[in-house]
Amino acid sequence: MKNNSAMFKLSYGLFVLSAKEGDKSNGCIVNTVQQVTTTPNRITVAVNKANFTHDMIVNTGEFNVSILSEEVTFDTFKHFGFQSGRDVNKMDGLENYEIAENGIFYLTKGANAYLTAKVVQTVDLGTHTLFLADVTDGDVLSNVESVTYAYYHKNIKPQPQETKKTGWRCKICGYIYEGEELPEDFICPICKHGASDFEKI
């Protein structure tokens, strides 16, 4: 590829993908929700297999999408993106949500709409599974603009402080590793992304 940065010119929204299996509810951050057909009204979402929510959707065939707005705070990304439902119950201390008719929660703050969906087909993509799903319900929650990945990086993610230190900055969450060499197997303590998502400062 002449320039891999061409991939960064693609634009994305940001969403909380939620599911429920038995008594357990969980959600994660995704940027991969797309409407693919209107008749029938269908969406796709690609989900990393490492996500706990992924397995819940495989097992139940149902999920909700909270469409995040520009009012969403970094706390929402920390809560749903930087920790796993395998380790914590993300419903603990969660405020500003409601339960849709399918029994799965959606966010009522920092989101401008929600969709409920039923999986009709899955495609194994190796690291991810692509779910094709019928939209079964949904509602508008506010008229605040939907947040984009670019807006997140510019306005929501904590901005790196000017520093004279040498080190490496996580491009995802802004965490700074101090040191000349970043270990190859380094994992960001905040967002759990690997060394390839760090840039030299």
Cβ proximity to Fe ion: between 103 and 194 the closer is: 194
Cβ proximity to Fe ion: between 19 and 173 the closer is: 173
Displacement of CA 11 from its chain's centroid (Å): 14
Residue by residue, DSSP assigns 82-110 as SS-TTTS-TTTT--SEEE-TTS-EEESSS
How far apart CA 68 and CA 16 sit, in angstroms, is 7
How far apart CA 180 and CA 187 sit, in angstroms, is 16
How far apart CA 30 and CA 32 sit, in angstroms, is 6
Query: Least distance (Å) from Fe ion to the CB of residue 130?
Result: 25
Cβ proximity to Fe ion: between 137 and 178 the closer is: 178
Angle at 31 between CA 199 and CA 103, to 5 degrees: 140
Closest CA to 67 of 106, 118, 26, 35: 106
Residue 152: both structure tokens together: 């997140």
Cβ proximity to Fe ion: between 111 and 170 the closer is: 170
Query: Least distance (Å) from Fe ion to the CB of residue 178?
Result: 14
Cβ proximity to Fe ion: between 19 and 29 the closer is: 29
Cβ proximity to Fe ion: between 97 and 175 the closer is: 175
Query: Least distance (Å) from Fe ion to the CB of residue 50?
Result: 15
Closest CA to 114 of 132, 95, 138: 138
Query: Least distance (Å) from Fe ion to the CB of residue 199?
Result: 11
* Residues 6+ away with beta carbon under 8 Å from 75: none
Query: Least distance (Å) from Fe ion to the CB of residue 67?
Result: 24
Q: Length of the chain in residues, anyone?
A: 201
Would you tell me which residues interact with Fe ion (CB under 5 A)? 170, 172-173, 175, 188, 190-191
Query: Least distance (Å) from Fe ion to the CB of residue 175?
Result: 4
